[in-house]
Amino acid sequence: MEEKYIVRIIKNELIHFKNVEYGEIRYMNYGSVQKNAKIEKNDIVGLYGQNGSGKTAMIEALAILKCILAGEEIPYQPYEGLLENEGHSRIITVFYIELGVKRYKALYEASLKADHEERKIHLCSEKLVYWQRGATWKSERDLEFINPYYDPGSIINNVAVFFHTAHERELESTGIAQGLQNLAVYCAQKNLSIFFNDLMLGKLSKEKSADDSELCRLSRVILGLSDFGRLYFQVVKVSQLADINRNTILPVSVHTESSNFVMQGCLPLVMDGQGKIPESLYIQLKEAVKAINIALKAIISDLSIEIRPVSEEPDKEGNKNILVEVYSIREGKEFLTRYESEGIKRIISLLNYLISLYNYPEVCLAVDELDSGIFEYLLGEILGVLNEEAKGQLIFTSHNLRAFEKLNIKNIICTTLNPQNRYIRLVGKEKNHNPRDFYIRTITIGGQKEELYDEADLQSIGYAFRSACSNHNKNIKINFSDKFRAKLDGKA
C-alpha cells in the first residue's frame, strides 16, 4: 500500500480579514515541529472570546484555505464581505508534512480580493516556501507568483506573470516556470490556485518518486497539501446550523477509509419528512450511520438512528434515486429524527468525523460553535476524551466554558479587543487556579497583555434598553390601512 501523507496545520496568520487586522495562532505542535520535526502533542485548540472578536473569522479563513488546497473555486457569496475593499486580504498557513521517513515544512500565503462586478473571489497572488528536514530544517526554497490575468486587458496586452524565487538555480531543474503564462490564464478564468489545480497536480504526480531531486521534493509538498485539502481537512461552519434548525437536512460530516479508498465530505441526512438521495450517497450514508450508532450509544445510551428506503425511482439521466425517511429509535419507540432536539441533531451531524479524528492522525476538523445545543457536561466529556486520545487535529470555537475544566490552558486561544493582535494565550495561571474561574477573573480585572472584554459594555446595557424603549414610544407611529382598521372596529 502506498504511504499516506500526514499533514498538520501548525500556524495561521490573518491579515486584513473580516474584523482581524492581524492575528496569529500557533497550534499545539508548532514548537515540537520547529525543534524536533515531530508531532508530539495531542492537537486540540479552542477559540474563546466575546461576540464579534474574530473566532468565526479564523474558521472562515480555514474554509477558504480548504477550497484553495482542494483545487476548488472560492465561492463568492459566503466570503464577499470578509475581504478588504481596498488592498488585499491575506491568509498565511504553516504546515508540517510527513511522508514515511521524509519530513517537510511548508508556508503557504494567499492574497485575496473580491470582484463585486463579476461576483468572484480572485486569488491574486500566492507564495509557497518549503523546507526539508535533515539534521535541521534546511534547503529552504521559495516560489512567489502574482496572476495579472484577472484583468482581461492583461491577456490582450500579453502582460507577463510575476514569478520570483530567491533560489532560481536550485529550482531551475523543476521546470516549474515553464508554461506558467498559459497556466495563469487558465487559473484566472477558473479562479483557481496556480499550485493546487488539476493541470499542475497531473504534471507533478508523475514526478513523485523515491529520489531526492528538487522536483520530487516540490511534488511531495504540493501533492501532500492537495491530498490534505481534498481528503482529510473538514470545516464545519455555523451556517450548517441553519439547515439543522430549519429541519431541511442534517449535514453529516463523513470521513471513510479503506485500503484503497478515502472519502470525505458532507452528506445530506434528509430531515424534512422524505427525501431523495442518489444511490451512491445512500450506500455511503448507510455505512456512516452504522459508525454513528456505535458512538451514539456511548453518548446517549438509548438512542439510535435508521435510514429507511421508501421507494426507488430513476432521474432524467437514468441514475437510481432512493426515497428515504430517517427515524430515531429510543427504547423501542420510533419517530422521525426531525423531532429531535438541536443538540442531538448537532451531535449526529458531527459524530462520524469525530470518530475519524479520534482514529486517524491525518484528519483535521475545524468546527464553528462546537457547543451549539450540546449539554455542557457532555461537551466537556467529549473534549476530555479527544484531548487525551485523539490522533488528529481539532480546531473549534465555543462560548461554553466547560472546556476550560477539561483542557489545559495552553489549548485555549482567547480573542482580544485589539484588531491588530486578535489572538493570545492566557498567561499567569497558577497550578491551583481553576481554569474557568481564572478566565472569568481575567475578563473582569485584566492582567493579560491585551484586553479580552470591554466591561463598559455591561454597564451600558440597561441604559441602552431604557433609551431604546423611550425612543420607540416617541418616534414610532403605527398606521393601519382602512380595511384593517375596519376589521379592528368590527365593521368588516
> If you write DSSP's letter for every residue of 273-321 in order, what string do you get?
SEEEEEHHHHHHHHHHHHHHHHHHHHHSTTEEEEEEEEEEEE-TTS-EE
Phi first, then psi: give them for residue 268, nearest 5 degrees.
Answer: -85, 120
Those residues whose C-beta lies under 8 Å from the C-beta of residue 455, and which sit 6 or more positions away, are 444
- Residue 197 pLDDT grade (very low, low, confident, very high; cuts 50, 70, 90): very high
For residue 459, the model assigns a pLDDT of 61
The answer to whether the CB of 79 falls within 8 A of the CB of 114 is yes
DSSP 161: P
Say if residues 152 and 184 touch (Cβ distance below 8 Å): no
CB 60 within 8 A of CB 82: yes
Distances (CA, A) of 385 to 14, 382, 407: 30, 5, 10
Average the pLDDT over 331-351 and give the result: 83
Distance CA 124, CA 410 (A): 35
What is residue 244's predicted lDDT score, i.e. its pLDDT?
A: 47
Q: Which amino acid is at 471?
A: N
**Cα angle: 164, vertex 169, 174; to 5 degrees:** 80
Mean pLDDT of 217-234: 93
The residue that leads in pLDDT, 36 or 464, is 36
Give per-residue pLDDT as tens, 395-417: 999 999 999 999 999 999 999 99
pLDDT tens track for 3-17: 789 999 999 999 999
Residue in the block written with cell 494565550 = 425
Tell me whether residue 168 is exposed, middle or buried, using C-beta atoms within 10 angstroms of its C-beta: 0 to 12, 13 to 18, 19 or more: exposed
Q: Read off φ and ψ for residue 446, nearest 5 degrees.
A: 85, -150
Contact 365, 393 (CB under 8 A): yes
> 46-99 pLDDT, tens per residue?
999 988 889 999 999 999 999 999 999 999 998 988 998 777 899 999 999 999
Query: What span, in angstroms and rounded, lies between the C-alpha atoms of 75 and 87?
Result: 19
> Order of strands, edge to edge, in the sheet holding 137-146?
20-26, 5-17, 89-99, 102-115, 120-133, 137-146, 162-164
CB distance 97 to 71 below 8 Å: no
| Cβ atoms within 10 Å, residue 436 | 14
pLDDT value, residue 338: 78
pLDDT value at position 272? 56
pLDDT digits (tens, 9 = 90+) for 261-304: 455 555 555 655 667 778 877 887 788 788 888 888 888 888 89
**How far, CA to CA in Å, does 424 sit from each of 23, 90, 442?**
9, 19, 13
CB atoms within 10 A of CB 196: 25
What does the alpha-carbon distance between residue 137 and residue 106 come to, in Å, rounded to a whole number?
A: 11
Mean pLDDT of the chain: 85
Q: Is the pLDDT of residue 468 over 60?
A: yes
**Bigger pLDDT: 145 vs 271:** 145
Instruction: For residue 282, report the phi and psi dihedrals to the nearest 5 degrees.
Output: -60, -45
Give me the phi and psi of 404, to 5 degrees please.
Answer: -65, -25
What confidence tens digit (pLDDT) does each residue in 377-390 have?
Answer: 888 999 999 999 99
Query: If you average pLDDT over residues 161-185, what whole number do you get?
Result: 86
Expressed in angstroms, the distance from the first to the final Cα of the chain is: 80
Cβ-Cβ contacts under 8 Å for 403 (sequence gap 6 or more)? 46, 48, 379, 380, 383, 411, 412
Are 111 and 126 contacting, i.e. CB atoms less than 8 angstroms apart? yes
Span 250-264, pLDDT tens digits: 556 555 555 554 555
Go through 141-161 and write b for each residue having 16 or more CB atoms within 10 A of its CB, e for each that does not. bebebebbbbeeebbeeeeeb
SS3 156: helix
What percentage of the chain carries pLDDT values higher than 70?
86
Q: How far apart are CA 194 and CA 163, in angstroms?
A: 11
State residue 458's pLDDT score: 58
Query: Distance between CA 240 and CA 50 in Å, rounded?
Result: 21
Supply the angle between the helices 279-299 and 342-359 in degrees, to the nearest 10. Answer: 90
